[in-house]
Amino acid sequence: QVQLQESGPGLVKPSETLSLTCTVSGGSISGFYWSWIRQSPGKGLEWVGYIYDNGDSNYTPSLKGRVSTSVDSSKNQLSLTLNSVTAADTAVYYCARGGRHVIAGPLESWGQGILVTVS
């Protein structure tokens, strides 16, 4: 059973850069679509972006220009970077494994999430 674990600083200052890592265990990164999703306090789920193991990626329009993702297959890790953060970026950030070779597949495995506060 694949397991995902987000890690990174829980507190980031406004205008600085948020950097998170998702470590995947019990399975390979290869062949899957990987998504980042966030949830502001008391709000719903917001898709942030996806990345495939070949580096193909896309992001939600509201964050485009500030967000990027990468994959390190040698470490079985994903990373998320969000620049110029504001209080509106305060949220629980989740990584999730999507479909195998199929972008429309479900987000079948999720990390426990990490709360990042911008203050």
Partner 1 sequence: SYVLTQSPSLSVAPGQTATISCGGNSLSTKNVHWYQQRPGQAPILVVYDDSRRPSGTPDRFFGSNSVNTATLTISRVEAGDEATYYCQVWDATTDHFVFGFGTEVTVL
Which residues lie near partner 1 (CB under 8 A)?
Answer: 35, 37, 44-47, 50, 58, 60-61, 94, 103-108, 110-113
41/88 with CB nearer partner 1: 41
Q: How far is the CB of 86 from partner 1 (least distance, A)?
A: 22
Q: How far is the CB of 117 from partner 1 (least distance, A)?
A: 16
13/36 with CB nearer partner 1: 36
61/74 with CB nearer partner 1: 61
> How many alpha carbons lie under 13 Å from residue 58 in its C-beta half-sphere?
5
Q: Which of 94, 88, 50, 85 is nearest to 68 (CA)?
A: 50
For the chain, the C-alpha Rg in angstroms (whole number) is: 13
Q: Give yes or no for a contact between 16 and 75, defined as CB atoms under 8 angstroms apart.
A: no
